[in-house]
Amino acid sequence: MSIALLSDPHGNSPALRAVLDNIHQHGCERLFVLGDVINGIDPQGCLDLLKGWPDAAFVYGSAEAYTLTPNLEALPRPDDPMNVALVQLIRWYQAHITPADLAWMQTWPERYNAEGIFMVHDSPLGRFYPETWRDPNLPDEYQEWFYHPWGIHDHLKENELDELFHWMAAQNFTHVFCGHTHVPVIYARENRVICNVGSAGMPLDGDTRPCWAEWQPETPGPAGLTFHRVEYDLQRTLNLIDADPTFNNQDSPAQRKAVRKMYATAIHWRAHIHEFTTD
Ligand SMILES: [Fe+2]
């Protein structure tokens, strides 16, 4: 039996389609989706692709949490530049997703927790120690909006890993699966495994091919996990971005060019923005 896990397609439907075709070819029996499905040029296309999978299980990501925040009109600190930009972006996603699918996303849970497995979009550390980030002055419905979580990346410190593996042992989890950082990585101690499954639409590890993870639960430890990188038509994604000037992920010509270059290099757009700011 093998299980497919993917995260962070980020609205990149050509990449997600190629990933799902590849998962299908590998004959995986289950699919887990770890969030940040919608935050890119084709949110509805990505939702439509995933809806076709029987028995897929989802957890929400930062983008879904932000998009589903109620009463954006009453958001605390509305003049904060980050909030102004994020609200604009969220309005764009809301306008490009059907009401039925916004309601569907509302049913996605924060975490999946069963049979020794724990899945969450970002990192169990933040989720299990909410006192480190929850703001007692904010109403409950805005807590996620102001939570900009850390994740499982490829340079975790030894003390962070100690804490994670200690928590896994105490909870009797053998596997933790996350996304969020867009960098595939596996940490293992004995047969306990922490796996970031990478990004199925916006890789940020210098390899432009989207990524998914195949898990064979009968094989304990890290040997049960394989990352797959999938070729896709990157130009189709760039064409989608070029064709829709209303896509609000880029609020300046410089940022638009930097975002295009991010897809073409798999390096975050902030690393490219300085090349274009003289425009
Ligand atoms: Fe993401």
Query: Which residues are within 8 A (CB) of 149 and not within 5 positions of it... i.e. 6 or more apart?
Result: 62, 122, 123, 126, 133, 180
Q: Is the pLDDT of residue 279 over 60?
A: no
Report every protein residue that has its C-beta within 5 angstroms of ion ligand 1: 8, 36
Centre of ligand 1 from the C-alpha of residue 222, in Å: 24
Centre of ligand 1 from the C-alpha of residue 38, in Å: 9
How far is residue 112's CA from residue 197's CA, in Å, rounded to a whole number?
A: 15
What integer pLDDT is reported at residue 49 of this predicted model?
A: 97
Element (H, E) at 58: strand 56-58
Centre of ligand 1 from the C-alpha of residue 37, in Å: 8
How far is residue 235's CA from residue 159's CA, in Å, rounded to a whole number?
A: 42
Mean pLDDT confidence for 53-69:
94
What integer pLDDT is reported at residue 151 of this predicted model?
A: 92
Among 6-20, 70-84, 248-262, name the most confident range. 6-20
Centre of ligand 1 from the C-alpha of residue 124, in Å: 16
pLDDT-based confidence at residue 188 (cuts at 50, 70, 90)? very high
Centre of ligand 1 from the C-alpha of residue 105, in Å: 16
pLDDT, tens digit (0-9, with 9 covering 90-100), for 32-55: 999 999 999 999 999 999 998 988
pLDDT, tens digit (0-9, with 9 covering 90-100), for 146-182: 888 889 999 999 999 999 999 999 999 999 999 999 9
Strands, E, within 131-231: which ranges?
175-178, 185-189, 192-196, 211-215, 225-229
Mean pLDDT confidence for 66-71:
92
